[in-house]
Amino acid sequence: MANKQIIKERRLQDDAWKVVTLVDGEAPFDVCLPVGPLLVPVSVWKAKKSCLIAREYEHGTPLGIWLAPEDDIAEIAADIDDFTVIAVHFPKFTDGRGYSTARLLRERYGYDGELRAFGDIGRDQIFFLNGVGFDAFVIGEGKSAEEALAAFDDFPESYQGNAVQPLPLFRRRAA
């Protein structure tokens, strides 16, 4: 089976990460963890933290976490350095809470690892998601990752400051 493709570092790359989800009625502690790099939901992280850390440090298996829109970043703040990837789920195109989550992770909590957007992500969001700190993108079902790559070139400049360019355009030019 071929790996799925993601946009990372402004190019298409293979992605071996597996997203762990809970089946209806399944308790976080009962989740069977597959082999390989995992992105686990916050509830599984809290229930299986010692097991996941052991996988990472004893076996060299990269560890990531994914946040749902309703998850509180403060719950994982002390553990941020344990994650190779933090992914933020966008359940639907119109749900913008993940933008704030990314900005908080980068600016308040100082997360400097891979920050991935996944879910209902399309080309129209890429430029703005990158501006708040996302550097990897899993494009939604039925959408073209190749076409989404062009979004990085949609705007030559950003007028307002953001996580990538903290100074607004008029301040950058004056300096």
Which pLDDT band holds residue 2 (cuts at 50, 70, 90)?
A: very low
| For residues 27-44, average pLDDT | 94
Would you state the pLDDT for residue 56? 85
| For residues 10-21, average pLDDT | 93
Q: What is the pLDDT of residues 108-159, one digit of tens each?
A: 999 999 999 999 988 888 888 998 999 999 988 888 788 888 877 776 665 5
Going from N- to C-terminal start, the domains of the chain cover 4-174
7-16, 22-31, 75-84, 163-172: least confident range: 163-172
| Per CATH, domain 4-174 is 2.40.160 | no
Would you state the pLDDT for residue 122? 85
Q: What is the pLDDT of residues 77-111, one digit of tens each?
A: 999 999 999 999 999 988 889 999 999 999 999 99
Would you state the pLDDT for residue 1? 37
Q: What is the pLDDT of residues 45-58, one digit of tens each?
A: 999 999 999 988 88
3-state DSSP percent of the chain in helix, strand and coil, to 5? 40, 20, 40
Kindly report each contact of residues 80-83 with a partner whose C-beta sits within 8 Å and lies 24 or more positions away, as own/partner.
Answer: 80/105, 80/109, 80/110, 80/111, 82/53, 82/56, 83/113
Would you state the pLDDT for residue 170? 53
The tokens 């007028």 sit on which residue? Answer: 159
Alpha helices by DSSP H, listed for the chain, are: 42-59, 97-103, 123-131, 145-149, 169-174
Tally Cβ neighbours within 10 Å of residue 33.
Answer: 15
Cβ neighbours for 156, distance < 8 A, ≥ 6 positions apart? none
CA dihedral defined by 13, 18, 24, 28, rounded to 10 degrees?
A: -140
Would you state the pLDDT for residue 153? 74
